[in-house]
Homo-oligomer: A and B are copies of this chain.
Amino acid sequence: MLRFASIFIASVAATVAAKPPALERLEPDKAADGDKSTLAWYDARLLPVEGKGWTDTAEFWHRLPARAKGVVRDPVWTLSTNTAGICVRFVTDAPKIAARWTVTSSNLAMPHMPATGVSGLDLYVRHEGQWRWTGAGRPGSTSSSEAVLVDNVPAGTHEYMLYLPLYNGVKSLEIGIPPTAQLFKPAPRAAKPVVVYGTSICQGGCASRPGMAHVAILGRRLDVPTINLGFSGNGKMEPEMADLLAELDPAVYVLDCLPNMTAEMVRERIEPFVRTLRKAHPHTPIVLVEQAPHQAARFLPSARERVDRKNAELRATFERLSDANVPQLTLVPGDRLLGVDDDATVDGTHATDLGFVRMADELEPVLRKLLK
């Protein structure tokens, strides 16, 4: 315990100024007693969870509250059952960590996004003060998978973060460690989360694994909790979404919906959306993100013009709101979000890990300044 305590002090110093809270040790799942496996299994719902904005959800791993059903459009509701951006945190001295998980859809992959990103798990460890990738849970061929995430871990107690699937739901998730090892619940982090509302790109399409969505990358770099409210094809900034987002109390709101909107929708919807948030949270920074260029736009004028029109509407909205003295608004230009080589996506629109790192590179300094 002493060894762990010192690691804990160092690792959360940035977010928790007081002395480290006591760690609660977990007991393995009793239901797993009859299991012939040599591992002890723990229900991940008992661990601190980040990335959920609401606790009053219909199922534990949903992203919107149960009462949102019928209020938000059906596709938004369906997508809210995907676990994009949700992660569990734990501390263990285990030399080996495994997971077994069952996803809600047997469509484990998309043609342009591998099963590891759509339905897989992704493990990071805090190592020498930084979150470092340490193992992925690759899905098998059915909805239920079991995988060793990391093995031959050096002695000591380490702090981990396990990301859940980006484009699938989770029915059950268990963490497995050798019976002689101990699993601890770290205290919830004190920092307010960064909330990002957006499209398929925000949801993580098409990252190779859950930790490579740019919202997750930003969470690690800034060492703050994040809430991913990306809804593939359906980030359209309806008033009911503004009401839901206004219920949260984040450190920063990031609004990144242009790829799912027409220029007309941008003109009509963004100002009232921002005003709803601003009314509920007079001082919380709101970041408006322009759409990144289609990756063939340099060659294809039609692809360029479509995005240019929407970004022009967003800038006009930003100017109107600023002229009306709505405070704490930031506009992030889209032109360099994906870099300059036009190679940052799988299909012109959806970022690969390359695109997501570049998006994080652009957004990190903006958020770092606002979080100060």
Which of A64-72, A246-254, A344-352 binds B? A344-352
Residue in B206, B211, B298, B348 whose CB lies within 8 Å of A135: B348
0/1 interface trace, chain A 293-310, chain B, CB 8 Å (1 if under): 001101111110000000
* A125 within 8 A of partner (CB): yes
Please tell me which stretch of A34-42, A112-120, A257-265, A280-288 contacts chain B, meaning at least 4 of its Cβ atoms lie within 8 angstroms of it: A112-120
Contact status B346-A209, CB under 8 Å: yes
A88 interface residue (CB < 8 Å to B)? no
- Residue pair B153, A300 in contact (C-beta under 8 Å): yes
Q: Is A343 an interface residue (CB 8 A)?
A: yes
CA distance A120 to B112 in the complex (A): 9
Q: Is the CB of B302 within 8 A of A152?
A: yes
Say whether chain A's binding surface is mostly helix, strand, loop, or mixed.
Answer: loop
Stretch at the interface among A126-134, A237-245, A320-328: A126-134
Residues of chain B within 8 A of A222, CB atoms compared = none
Question: Is there contact, CB below 8 Å, between A136 and B208?
Answer: no
Which chain B positions have C-beta within 8 A of A125? 299
Indicate if A187 sits at the interface (CB-CB under 8 A). Answer: no
> What residues of chain B lie closer than 8 Å to A139, measured between beta carbons?
111
Q: A218 an interface residue at 8 Å Cβ cutoff?
A: no
- Which of A114, A116, A133 has the largest number of chain B CB atoms within 10 A? A114
Q: Does A150 contact B (CB under 8 A)?
A: yes
Q: Are A353 and B343 in contact (CB under 8 A)?
A: yes
Contact with B along A101-117 (1 / 0, CB 8 A): 00000001111111110
Q: Which residues of B contact A132 (CB under 8 A)?
A: 296, 298-299, 342
Distance in angstroms between the alpha carbons of A320 and B298 in the assembled complex: 49
Residue A194 lies at the interface, judged by CB distance under 8 Å to chain B: no
Complex: how many Å from CA A150 to CA B303? 11
Cβ of A12 within 8 Å of any chain B Cβ, yes or no, is: no
Any B CB within 8 A of the CB of A354: yes
Give Cα A300 to B132, complex, Å.
11
Asked if A295 and B133 sit within 8 Å, CB to CB, the answer is yes
Determine whether the beta carbon of B112 is less than 8 Å from that of A115: yes
Partner of A296, one of B134, B217, B296: B134
Within 8 A of B (CB), among A320-372: 341-344, 346-348, 352-354, 357
- Which B residue's beta carbon lies closest to that of A132? B342
A43–B88 Cα gap in the complex (Å)?
A: 52
B150 A346 Cβ-Cβ under 8 A? no
Q: Which of B111, B206, B217, B296 contacts A133 (CB 8 A)?
A: B296
Q: How far is the CB of A98 from chain B (nearest CB, A)?
A: 15
Q: Are A299 and B116 in contact (CB under 8 A)?
A: no
Extra inter-chain contacts (18) besides given A212-B343, A344-B353, CB under 8 Å: A109-B111, A109-B114, A111-B114, A112-B136, A114-B114, A114-B206, A116-B347, A127-B298, A132-B298, A135-B296, A153-B300, A154-B299, A154-B300, A206-B208, A208-B346, A209-B346, A212-B354, A343-B357
Jot down 24 A-B pairs with beta carbons below 8 A, ordered by A.
Answer: A108-B111, A109-B114, A111-B115, A114-B346, A116-B346, A116-B347, A125-B299, A128-B298, A134-B296, A134-B300, A135-B296, A136-B346, A152-B300, A152-B301, A211-B343, A212-B352, A212-B354, A341-B357, A343-B357, A344-B353, A352-B352, A352-B353, A353-B353, A353-B354
